[in-house]
Structure 1
């Protein structure tokens, strides 16, 4: 079944179930909070594995609360999901990413299905890790494709076994219902929510399922779940990544390890060299595929100084620094985020031959480096099972209030072209553009940048409902701090 046909089937089934979607959360009990270290209070939320069958099997979701500084003057609760898998453990290690919000709110953290606090029964470990995201780039032929698909399948099977019956609830559709259950349990009349990165996918699902229950919602670093065409979704990644090379060149022009050399000309020169022969890298070599992976990884703004240095040294005959830009090896044990992503975005991945046809068009549109994103993204899901599924579809959220969408010019993780497409699905959405990359709100907080343009817009909206003016733009406060040495 194609992604489009699967989407139509899912929407038809969803329409038939619409009358039952909101009722099950009504009986959610208030959380029983208990101190759990690091200034947090923790509680379990018991929810159905499948919200379509609220009387069926149950599972648990971990939540944690960072209490407001002044409980007598707080404005209520704000629910936060930081994306990328776990929320509670990362906030434990870096509380500054959200702690400023306790000026006004109880900050309630929620982990998605399969994740949980350290030592929690809710935390699922998949014995087989997911293969590296660069697998289809490093082994570009059909044999490499089959091997990568087999590795993905083994990872998926291990997650299914480790999670047991709860695996059937591993979609953002289910997590959106968990958010609604949490809202009811907190006693909040409307959901106030800040979603970062993958947390915005849960927010998108909530907007569609419970538009009348949305209070104020901030989405930052937005993957586009409203694009049913896989090729168009990949094209947004490819074009954005190609632009990222230009942004790196422009940043480098003001001073970097490349001196006065144009970064794109350096890229072209090294790519031509590595196509003739691998570059020496200490006791190993860097071939064309490894070179493309290294540059792809180095185009994330915090890595720009490393990329500039690596390119400079490769020009001088030593590609060791380029080799060290490769992604980290897969985590052991694995976690369930990769499975949920595929259920949400690519439950029906293309076959090898079909993908090559798409890739030819990605290469035409983004010929230097952007086309590599096609293999990065598809490589996440080839070989994965298709059920459960919550495939991409146009977002319909009639009656939802204005949402604040933060979109970063230098965000190659969730490309701005896709985020713009998603925001356009919400007629009342207000966009604030900024010059920083992925997870800008959280990363500015972690860096101690509490008074930035972006954070002021977010806080004005969350506390008073004040939206930024149309066309609002903030500078790249994090990019400005990137060292050039």
Structure 2
């Protein structure tokens, strides 16, 4: 990178780390919308740098505090990818305990919204999915995937019009600030899960003086300017996940006394020689790798153990069933586009990627290296703008926040979460033995007030931080049947 390029990059980062002028607070009109919720619309500019330009609406939902006498104020929540409002409608238990103390106010990012809401954008063309680039090799397929993604992106741009320019976390952070003002809160209380932590990172940088108590669970690290380093965090975490699966299995699983990694290595060697028989079909090497990667999320460990045992015995049918479909990922929502604009605004060319992949493979040779293709497939062919590129976090002056990091989280890699947490002055980390979205999953599975949930509640309600180097057990992991 030459001096001019470095200077231009520095200017671009400076522009995206500065906050736009903040308008006066707006009044919100709440209406009953079923499932114990009230809904409202937040009217915002498409581009906060152009407050007099085109405008768009953001969906909100509120679950009122159960006891007004104990109410501590509003807590803004974003639960990550997909519609947070629809997710809470389907599974209110994931956040309902928070209404013991707070009005829980759910905010959607641009392009997403409640069912049948105009804010929920569906693009006419579906994306090509994120599995095909793992299953298919060669420059020809790479280019086909890029063309399919470009068509999907173009259709989203067409249907959204001017609103497409708002698909970055920089814009959403400004939306959250507008919501804070509309709620009449002096400081922002916020719970962000998964992609919701990307909005939190932007908010801390843009509005540090307005940060109150903030919980980040399942951190999606937005602080790696180098795509290769970001992919390496994904790859190394995935590689270690195989070891964690082996450790879990050693205490009892379908593999019996067999070492899970030894079974995996033997099957990998076999499938590289010839496809594994799977009933009326076979499983090739790429399908084997994708099946195992998919099932390395802890709730699927029992199925993975059974599939590996059966494959070792000569029938890979159960492994074949774990291979996800590669013909797209449902309706063409815009969620993935924001990820591209935030995390991978520039996808490397085919030859450049092969070099990156070679280095990933050297560092994470068993399974982690395929994360390169898995992640890049999300954005190959998507246009570069708008863009909010990853950069080191500048969050000076924020009060202590609470960050939850799971040992078995390979969705938002725990290595990446640790990298981001180290950049937040005064942040307190609580580590736990569970995987992605642990707070939400504990609520989903009705585990009650677990160690992790207790730490989060104590912090949000009283500002009490966990002890330094606090650790909670894998409460969800312990509930997984070993079968």
Using structure 2 for the length normalisation, give the TM-score.
0.97
1:325-474 matches, cutoff 5 A: 325-328=322-325, 329-474=327-472
| 1:10 match | 12
Q: How much does 1:201 deviate?
A: 0.1
Aligned-residue offset at 1:7: 4.5
Report the number of matched residues: 480
Q: 2:476: which partner in 1?
A: 478
**Structure 1 residue 9: Cα displacement:** 3.6
Residue deviations 1:448-474 (CA, integer Å, cap 9, x gap): 122111001100000000011110000
Check whether the contact 1:22–1:210 (CA below 8 A) recurs between aligned residues.
Answer: no
Aligned to 1:51: 48
Shift of 1:4: 7.3
Cα gap change, 1:391 to 1:14, in 2 (>3 Å) = closer
Separation in structure 1 between the aligned mates of residue 196 and residue 9 of structure 2, nearest angstrom: 21
- Which stretch shifts more, 405-414 or 152-161? 152-161
Distance 1:223 1:23 in 2: 26
Point out 4+ residue stretches in structure 1 off by more than 4 angstroms: 1-7
**In structure 1, what is the Cα distance between the partners aligned to 2:155 and 2:426?**
42
Tell me the equivalent position of 2:65. Answer: 68
Provide the secondary structure at the position in 2 that maps to 1:77: strand
TM-score by length of 1: 0.97
CA apart distance, 1:282: 2.1
Aligned 1:82-481 pairs, distance under 5 A:
82-328=79-325, 329-481=327-479
Residues 35-46 of structure 1 correspond to what in structure 2 (within 5 A)?
35-46=32-43
2:75, 2:268 → 1: CA distance?
48
Asked if structure 1 preserves the Cα contact closer than 8 Å seen for 2:398 and 2:425, the reply is no
Write the distance in 2 (CA, Å) between the matches of 1:233 and 1:299: 20
Cα gap change, 1:302 to 1:466, in 2 (>3 Å): same
- Give the CA RMSD over aligned residues: 1.5
Quote the offset at 1:213 in angstroms: 0.4
Q: Partners of 2:147 and 2:301 in 1: how far apart?
A: 34
1:359 offset after TM fit, Å? 1.1
Q: Give the Å deviation of 1:411.
A: 0.2
Q: Provide, for residues 62-105 of structure 1, a one-character-per-residue CA deviation record: whole Å limited to 9, x for no partner.
A: 00000000123200000000001311000000000000000000
SS of the counterpart of 1:258?
coil
Looking at structure 1, the residues matched to 383 and 345 of structure 2 have their Cα atoms a distance apart, in angstroms, of 7
Contact 1:7/1:393, CA 8 A, preserved across alignment: no
The SS at the match of 2:239 is: helix
* Structure 2 gap segments, 5+ residues each: none
Question: Do the aligned partners of 2:60 and 2:108 also contact (CA within 8 Å) in 1?
Answer: yes
Kindly state the Cα deviation for residue 8 of structure 1 after the two structures are TM-superposed: 2.5
Deviation at 1:131, TM superposition (A): 2.0
DSSP-derived class of the 1:80 partner: strand
CA contact (8 A) 1:85 1:112 kept: no
Deviation (angstroms), 1:23? 2.1
Aligned residue for 2:342, secondary structure, equals helix
